[in-house]
Amino acid sequence: MADSRTANANVVMSRDLGSTNTIVVDGGSENGKTHQFNEQTNYVPKRAIITIFLACASVDLLALMDQTMLATSLYIIGNALGSTAQVSWIASGYFITSTVGQLMYGRLSDIWSRKIILLMGLAIFFIGSLASSLAQSVLQLTIFRAFTGIGGGGLMTVAQLIVSDVVPLRERGKYQGILVSHFESMVEGQWLTRFATRALW
């Protein structure tokens, strides 16, 4: 009976609770209980949601492809810089700082605005990537890539937080699913790197 009562629960939108963004779950007449789930109080227009989502998806894609493309070309980078024994630290430095950055950026974006933290992450990522392209040794490249990871970790975290903020609760799963599907860029990044390697080297 408990399963049947749960299956018969109705989810309705209420306009009588002072907010059009309140979802009420009616558990049925037997228990007489309702549960309210409140969304954000300000709706964002559909066109603005799509624009914001595309921007966040592009940022997420950029960070993911950057990780994969570098990992695929480590051996070539080691040969170019004259040290293949230490190239593993290049990727390790990025992943360590990126992981730590993901933990920090979520809280920082709560204290300040998401926009400011995202722009800060983009600036760190751009400066670190530019410095990495000018590195003359494996040590320099490792340091610059670790600096880049500080921004890269924030890009993925804040982009997903922004999508959760602007998308209505009932549509959030769809948008988050599309955003998570960008992990296929890890495969795309490998193919792009192999193609560029064969073309340039």
Residues 27 and 80 in one domain: no
pLDDT of residue 182: 63
Residues 15 and 62 in one domain: no
pTM for this predicted structure: 0.68
Residue 167 tokens read as 């998308």
pLDDT tens profile 81-111: 877 777 888 888 888 998 888 888 888 888 9
Closest by Cα among 121, 139, 140, 106 to 62: 121
Residues 69 and 92 in one domain: yes
Residues 82 and 17 in one domain: no
Domain that holds residue 25: 2-38
CA 92 – CA 70 distance, rounded (Å): 11
Number of separate domains in the chain: 2
Residues 83 and 108 in one domain: yes
136: domain CATH number is 1.20.1250.20
Residues 25 and 77 in one domain: no
pLDDT tens profile 32-85: 555 555 555 556 788 888 898 899 888 888 887 777 777 777 777 777 787 777
Residues 118 and 189 in one domain: yes
